[in-house]
Amino acid sequence: MAPLMSHSVSPLAPKTYAELPPLWGVRLATAQAGIRYKDRTDVLYVTFPHGAAVAGVLTRSKCPSAPVDWCRTQLPGGTAQALVVNSGNANAFTGMRGAAAVKLTAEIAAQAAGCSPDRVFLASTGVIGEPLDATRFEGVLTECEAHADGEFPWLDAAKAIMTTDTFPKVATRTARLGDVEVTINGIAKGAGMIAPDMATMLAFVFTDAPIMAPALQPLLKRGADRSFNCITVDGDTSTSDTLLIFATGGAGLAGAPTIDKADDRRLAPFRKALDELLVDLAQQVVRDGEGARKFVTVQVSGATTARSAQRVAMSIANSPLVKTAIAGEDANWGRVVMAVGKAGEPADRDRLAIWFGDIRVAVDGARDPAYDEATTSAYMKNEAITLRVDLGLGKGKATAWTCDLTKGYVEINGDYRS
């Protein structure tokens, strides 16, 4: 495990980073293109010399970025040869200039990787509304191709895609596919504008498993619904949310079976490992929430359906009043009641029970008779807080993850374009 960087990071950051191993058929490089930042890497280039199956889930924002539109067009092809990610400029709300920029970027990358542009996938993150000068990639991507390496540090790849992030987000898992062990590596970025509606801000997953795109797509969608679609920092869905998975098939050389259907029973261990990796990355995004000081788990049970429970959980997790109460270490269960009531889902005030950690603060529509203010206040000082709500109506349950809302969030976003 690698130690964290020396500069100031979120107090909720992991104490160590996972060490991601090399993957057959994946070569990485980073570069400084000067898109917005000075003296730091702002481009990630990944190439798949033997090709890779690809699947993805993208933002459902009605104002998507130009790279999202590009990926949406290329995903049905199911094959990738290169990935280019830039930070500092989202290339969103940039009109025809944005579309021209992604086309030029794909052409430059395709020339570097020796493939057709429709096998290049793109993602951008940063300021919205600023035109992206794609000519900055000229020469840079060719240089990246020349130096791309399977041994390149994944942590450095994750750093290149950061914007307001205070730490890079990485995760790795292994699983059995047939009689062969396969590896899954993932990187992500995100700290603000976090309320994913399909994916996350940017997340990229890579595996050597020989899984074809028709099987990867439902696997990824299922995993996103249980991870990235269960987190929120500020309730705002990005124009650029992109989650992509690339499978090089390298483990097939060692005898791993080729999988082309998501319901193949042999996929069960891989599915479990992928879900765990996606939850790991999603929780790291929340832990890096802008200005965050507390990591919050919201558990809802007793709903009429799982979908209803999820909506109630996200109503609680997205509530500014709930989040500011947690920031102030105030066990204000009345705000939780408010968030349950406004969710628009079936609820019965007189069956409702609420816990802060293991402390039941409300039951049967009123304050718990055994409620103790001092004990609950002491719990609220913890770095990790769990809110539990039981609606008493059915068997539906769900979990969401969020963070507190502090003055730091306002300061960061008030100065974002400065």
Q: Catalytic residue positions?
A: 200
Residues 6+ apart with CB under 8 A from 245: 54, 55, 56, 204, 205, 206, 207, 216, 219, 220, 274
d(CA 158, CA 179): 31
Helices marked H in 89-134: 95-113
Are 219 and 246 spatial neighbours (Cβ–Cβ below 8 Å)?
no
d(CA 40, CA 32): 6
Burial grade of 39 (CB within 10 A; 0-12, 13-18, 19 or more): exposed
Please name every residue paired with 398 in a beta bridge, in sequence order, or none if there are none: 300
Distances, alpha carbon 394 to alpha carbons 156, 297, 307, 347, in Å:
47, 21, 12, 10
CA 254, 18, 31, 131 dihedral sign is: positive
d(CA 30, CA 344): 46
Q: Look up residue 201 and give its DSSP letter.
A: S
Q: What is the phi/psi pair of residue 405, to 5°?
A: -115, 115
